[in-house]
């Protein structure tokens, strides 16, 4: 059987290379990025995702798209570049994909869209565990772009031509960060609320969203089952915020005291997501 054609934007990035490696045997993969991918055995197009004409040409013939290209945090580029690439780039990609008849796009959101990451005063989690219905209140540009990305994806989906699903990873930890994870887990003010995920598990989430039968718009938190926190999650939240936010499902933290602040049940139930990695197994400094 002929392989389906899959375009992966941002496939040369830190997460992108894991997604490419996971899917390149199953699909005919083309990477769109400004930088050539590490994998020499996939096609590559140097295209700016904000260029509609070039993107329409680049996506012609594609069956599926995974959209990872972005400025992935508010510190490595100007706020203007972050806003432009993440919002205009996502709109442009989806517009081009719809025009050329791509069946499904899976886009990268982020749990940062909740606004919880940089912990503005007065905005602790509104309840626990934090699921996809939790209110969003982003207060810096990257998190804001991820709320907008969500809205853009949903609007294309309701137009009815292009299926769009959104995978919202927690902070992705890559190997160079392993030695720091214990200290981050001991820090009561860890700015990701100790949530994290391995890139291999995020790649699993993208594959599942690409292939799930139900293509109606939805977003899914993809995190590890545990947090980086070295002590029970509720204990550390109390130290940080002075009180424990409302716990809607007490069994989560009773059964698993260091369970993540973010809830991955929707991904488990609808996609069949099952995280395979915990930082507690990663090699740590002696
Ligand atoms: N790293 C994390 O912790 C994390 C967490 C949640 C969500 N995400 C999301 O996952 C995705 C991938 O993140 P990452 O950490 O691999 O980032 P990354 O910076 O390593 O990779 C992004 C890639 O996008 C490419 N790119 C940037 N602007 C482009 C443009 N205009 N046209 C074409 N390509 C362009 C870059 O060259 C890069 O290879 C992003 O959408 C990010 O917001 C990341």
What CATH number corresponds to the domain at position 51?
Answer: 3.40.50.720
Structural domain that includes position 143? 5-175+195-225+262-277
In sequence order, which residues have a C-beta less than 8 Å from that of residue 187 and are 6 or more positions away? none
Answer yes or no: is the C-beta of 249 below 6 A from any ligand 1 atom.
no
What distance in angstroms lies between residue 16's CA and the mean position of ligand 1's atoms? Answer: 8
* Pocket perturbation via mutation, ligand 1, pick of 69, 92, 198 by most ligand atoms within 8 A of CB: 69
Q: Is the dihedral of CA 223, 225, 229, 234 positive or negative?
A: positive
Q: How far apart are CA 105 and CA 63, in angstroms?
A: 9
Q: How far apart are CA 210 and CA 64, in angstroms?
A: 8
Q: How many domains does the chain have?
A: 1
Let me know if residue 103 belongs to a domain: yes
Answer yes or no: is the C-beta of 212 below 6 A from any ligand 1 atom.
no
Let me know if residue 252 belongs to a domain: no
Q: What is the pTM of this model?
A: 0.97
**pLDDT tens-digit readout, 203-261:** 999 999 999 999 999 999 999 999 999 999 999 999 999 999 999 999 999 999 999 99
Residue 119: predicted pLDDT: 62
Let me know if residue 116 belongs to a domain: yes
Q: How far apart are CA 194 and CA 35, in angstroms?
A: 31
Average pLDDT of the chain to the nearest whole number: 95
Which residue's CA lies nearest to atom 11 of ligand 1? 68
Let me know if residue 48 belongs to a domain: yes
């Amino acid at each position: 059987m002929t392989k389906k054609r899959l375009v992966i934007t941002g496939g040369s990035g830190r997460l992108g290379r894991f997604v490419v490696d996971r899917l390149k045997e199953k699909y005919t993969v083309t990477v769109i990025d400004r930088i050539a991918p590490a994998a020499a055995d996939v096609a590559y197009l140097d295209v700016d995702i904000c260029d509609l004409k070039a993107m329409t040409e680049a996506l012609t013939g594609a069956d599926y798209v995974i959209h990872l290209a972005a400025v992935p945090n508010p510190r490595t580029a100007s706020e203007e570049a972050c806003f432009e690439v993440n919002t205009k780039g996502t709109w442009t990609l989806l517009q081009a994909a719809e025009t050329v008849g791509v069946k499904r796009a899976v886009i990268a959101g982020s749990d940062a869209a909740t606004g919880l990451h940089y912990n503005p005063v007065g905005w602790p989690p509104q309840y626990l565990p934090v699921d996809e219905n939790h209110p969003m209140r982003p207060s810096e540009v990257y998190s804001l772009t991820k709320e907008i990305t969500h809205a853009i994806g949903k609007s294309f989906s309701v137009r009815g031509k292009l299926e769009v699903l959104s995978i919202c990873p927690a902070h992705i930890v890559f190997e160079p960060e392993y030695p720091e994870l214990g200290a981050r887990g001991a820090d009561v003010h860890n700015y990701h609320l100790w949530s994290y995920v391995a890139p291999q598990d995020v790649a699993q989430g993208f594959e599942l969203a690409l292939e799930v039968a139900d293509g109606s718009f939805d977003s899914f938190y993809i995190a590890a089952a545990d947090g980086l926190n070295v002590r029970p999650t509720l204990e550390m939240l109390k130290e940080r915020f002075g009180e424990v936010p409302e716990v809607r499902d007490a069994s989560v933290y009773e059964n698993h005291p260091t369970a993540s602040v973010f809830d991955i049940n929707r991904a488990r139930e609808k996609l069949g997501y099952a995280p395979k990695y915990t930082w507690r197994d990663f090699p740590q400094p002696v």
